[in-house]
Structure 1
Amino acid sequence: MLFFSGCATVGRDFPAYQVPRIKIGETTQTDIRSMFGPPWRVGVEDGTKTWTYGKYRYGLFAETSTQDLVVRFNDDGIVTSYTYNTTEPSR
């Protein structure tokens, strides 16, 4: 007999409880790396450097679960904005 779980996970866990510590105009790239570790993905959005932290679980017979943090930095490496979204229940 052959069974398929039908699940896939992309990205990696990050400490979401740290998100409220991010201060726009104050927190640096070094601070972010200290809080969350290396970013899962680095990119540029409208000319702004972005770091993405995320874990995305997809299941054929299970609920999809996502957790996503995108942090944007100015040229000096200071946070200019961030977005955090999750489908996971609050704890």
Structure 2
Amino acid sequence: MDRAELIKELHEIAAGMTKAPLREVSGEGDASMVEQYGFSSLDALEYLLILEEKFDVVFEDEELTEETLFSIEGLATYILGQKAPDSASLA
């Protein structure tokens, strides 16, 4: 999955959780999940759990930053970063 597909899927999952309309995905700027989908802290936690299961990643407490927690771009970077070591470790 490339970055653009991942970002689109992250938006679709968030919109589905909140019944909010799917936001137009643009490469410019990145509003927070709270601003885009009205996520509460519990929504954000549930969203992370869904993402962990769907993408087979683990969000380690010490690695979570505000950017990762509240930004689709940050989440995409984190998920892709979690996937990259798998292929690198085989070399």
TM superposition score normalised by structure 2: 0.27
- Higher Cα Rg, which structure: 1
| TM-score normalised by L of structure 1 | 0.27
